[in-house]
Amino acid sequence: MKPLAVAILGATLIFQQALLAPLFAAGSAARADDASRRFDVAGGPLGQVLGQYASQAGVVLSFDASLTTGRHSDGLNGSYGIAEGFARILAGSGLEVRFVDERTVLLQKVPEDSAVVSLDAMRVEDNALGTITEQTKSYTPGTIATATRLVLTPRETPQTVTVVTRQHMDDFNLTNINKVMDHTPGITRHGTDNYRSYYYARGYQIQNFQYDGIPVLTGTDMGNTSVDMIQYDRIEVIKGASGLTTGAGAPGATINLVRKKPTHEFSGHATAEYGRWDNYRTEWDVGGPLNESGSVRGRFATAFQDQQSFMDHFKEQTRALYGILEVDLSSQTLWTIGANYDKRIPTGNNWAGTPVFDSHNNEINTSRSFNPGATWSRAEQFSHAFFTQLDHEFDNGWNSRIYYTFQRNAYDANLGSIKSIPSADNGSATLQSGQYRTKIRTQALEAYARGPFELFGRTHELAVGVSGYHNHLKGSGHNSVRTTINFWDWNGRIERPDWGGIRYRTEDRVNQRAYYASGRFSLTDDLAVILGGRVTNYRRGGDSNMRETGEVVPFAGITYDLNDNFSLYASYTKIFQPQSARDENYAVLDPDEGDSYEGGLKGEWFNGRLNASLAYFEIRQDNRAEFVGWNAERNYSMYEGKKAKTKGIELEISGELMPGWNIQAGFTHQVIREDETNEKLTTFEPENQFKLYTTYRLPGRFSRITIGGGGSYQGTTWRDGTDVLGNEHQYRQEAFWLVNLMGKYQITDNLSATLNINNLFDKYYYSNYGEVWTGVATKTYGEPRNMMLTTRWDF
């Protein structure tokens, strides 16, 4: 069977599994332990609150939706037994729960002759975006707000949003964002060399990043792709254009990194890890109340990693520090302040991979360990940020947030790498070296409010806000030095040159101001419409010197509940992306504009513990930048704006198929074609990809053992170019699978050991193949088989 057929069959079987899950999920059930545990459930419609609470409690709750219609809950925050928590949420509602078995709970009316216990309502202490995934043991979120700023379940969101939760990251040792993206359905990662990565979704490079839902513009190779996951509760990926909450940006996807919160009780963990190529890592994460009443809470986390590599003379250190403080200024006002610091220190960097051909047009066969970089070549990256926010809850159910962040990213590089075609006769090649420094300072400020309102006898939701950021980039470069070396005898050892004085300086400023609003209108119990828009003023200085005023980005979405488990949905938004690419005359291309459409079917089971979606998407662009050649005289890549259309489907599932069995999987098919010629564009991105990762905790006496694994399939990719002799040549990589395994043993209640094996079958593949740098086609190998053993102590 062909690999594509296998991927499609696997994706279909997974979706069928989701459809059948309600029939068998009531099988083996763990005891509903009524010991106290910490819950953080945001207020909202009663049905939604109950679903989130059941998800965190690890029970399956069933109820007739008519019982909760029109009812509201303030949520639940604190430590409670499962039954006690249900009682507090339902206090005064005339409803109660009944435990059918140790895992299944039914919601019912309180019998008329029963006494109703009156409990004080609990206020919510944090109106964070979405549900905290930490400690839920879930592979799916409760709610998300990144796409529309409204707090909605995945089923209620008329757009595909993929979330990698804290549990998924812990199970598969996803300690940095590159690893998270490798596990995220619908995302491909290109490793340009051994220190830079670029992410793609739906055929487009991801350039939009958010932190806690706030857009921050920093640049993809300025620390965003090297952040450590010790700081984050989850990573959300909004598929398609996200102009409503992001503003200007690419239509592929937006990555939102959601930070961890302080805990209400003292808790934490420490790890000691060891892996192949002398890979050492340790984490420390501790949080809890800082005063007797618990009104001041803090958290501190740090990680340190030191590792060698499968590549000769390449090694790196990463360091991460994170701290956050929450203060209850009143029963309805919360102040948060925090900071983080990431630093990556690689040594032995190469610079755009290894040349593909020699001077006789023969393909160069080097081992995966060959490193074209010099031993002293290094490109330090660091990022640090300060953030603060003020949250307030009003008596009418509305809440507001004011958020400010200052972020500084920097890149300090002394690079030396082989960047020429080696001679087939004597092996002579050119080592190109240079010194480059760039730093970006970003300030972002956002204020918004959201809440319910009544209209025509029904309850609807509204969010309004203002947003702005200022981005200031400064960079410099020294003279580029070229040194002749012997390619075949190369071992990286060469004296570092004197680059002399600064050859050029660059400076760029980007300002964006915006106003936005979105509303969810419940037309009937089953039909909801979301309407919104963002008005953006965009200005960029430097030699680009572009200004766009009053750019309107509309958003429209609709969801219709077919029954208790399935909903139809559709959405539309506009694309607005200012560009820095230049044409053959060195002029900056006009902004890329167009339309993004999406529609499909969403499913939800077990009160949100399992979610699935089937989406069709279409993206129409008016001025897509396409590479047309390299200008050797002026040393820059030339692009041409083209009309293009992208069509595709995405199938995803995430959550718990049955007690103890978690899964996250997705299949994506996409094709980009030029309108006029119908020619395929961006063929270096796979048309088909499939990812599946799953874990299962064994039942009964073997419940201390968790087994898991998964893999990813990537379809054939290619780049059309020329060889050394100027002949047309297709740089082609055939389809391939990568398979990973994991196993965990819970030694005691607090101590565990986990083994992760990546690329189990030691597949040879390229993370980048045929990309042209300074006129030379290059290749970069993906990682060979490797493993990591993690011991973790929770307290």
CATH number of 35-107: 3.55.50.30
Which of 339-353, 577-591, 683-697, 761-775 shows the highest mean pLDDT? 683-697
- The helix (run of H) or strand (run of E) holding residue 66 is none
Decide if pLDDT at 88 tops 80: yes
Whole-angstrom distance, CA of residue 748 vs CA of residue 746: 6
The answer, yes or no, to whether residue 377 has pLDDT greater than 50, is yes
Domain ranges of the chain: 35-107, 265-369+390-424+435-503+513-792
Which residues, in sequence order, are CB contacts of 377 under 8 Å at separation 6+? Answer: 347, 348, 349, 350, 351, 414, 415, 416, 417, 433
Query: Residues 593-639: pLDDT tens digits?
Result: 899 999 999 999 988 899 999 999 999 999 888 888 777 777 777 88
State the pLDDT at residue 352: 84
pLDDT interval class at 114 (50, 70, 90): very low
Question: pLDDT digits over 727-769, tens only?
Answer: 999 999 999 999 999 999 999 999 999 999 999 999 999 999 9
* pLDDT exceeds 90 at position 715: yes
Q: Tell me the C-alpha distance between 28 and 759, whole Å.
A: 32
- pLDDT level of residue 15 (50, 70, 90 thresholds): very low
Structure pTM? 0.84
Q: Is 149 left (phi over 0), alpha (psi -120 to 50) or beta?
A: left
Higher pLDDT residue, 89 or 448? 448
Q: What is the pLDDT of residues 318-335, one digit of tens each?
A: 999 999 999 999 999 999
Q: Residue 7: its pLDDT value, please?
A: 46
DSSP 128: -
Which token pair is 39? 């819950």
Region 679-685: mean pLDDT is 90
Q: What's the confidence (pLDDT) of residue 433?
A: 92
What is the CATH code for 265-369+390-424+435-503+513-792?
2.40.170.20
State the pairing for strand pair 104-109/60-62.
parallel
Identify the residue with better confidence: 261 or 102. 261
Number of helices (H), then strands (E), belonging to the chain: the values are 6, 44
Question: What confidence tens digit (pLDDT) does each residue in 552-566 have?
Answer: 999 999 999 999 999
Which residue(s) pair with 790 in the sheet? 273, 754
What pLDDT is stored for residue 116 in this prediction?
A: 36
Q: How is the chain split among helix, strand and coil, in percent rounded to 5?
A: 10, 55, 35
Confidence check: pLDDT of 221 > 90: no
Secondary structure of 465-515 in HEC code, one letter for each residue? EEEEEEEEEEEEEECCEEEEEECCCCCCCCCCCCCCCEEEEEEEEEEEEEE
Please say if the pLDDT value at position 257 is more than 80. yes
Q: Is-same-fold flag (35-107; 265-369+390-424+435-503+513-792)?
A: no
* pLDDT at 119 exceeding the cut of 60: no
Work out the pLDDT band at 110, boundaries 50, 70, 90.
Answer: confident
Tell me which H or E stretch contains 314: none
Residue 157's pLDDT is what?
Answer: 94
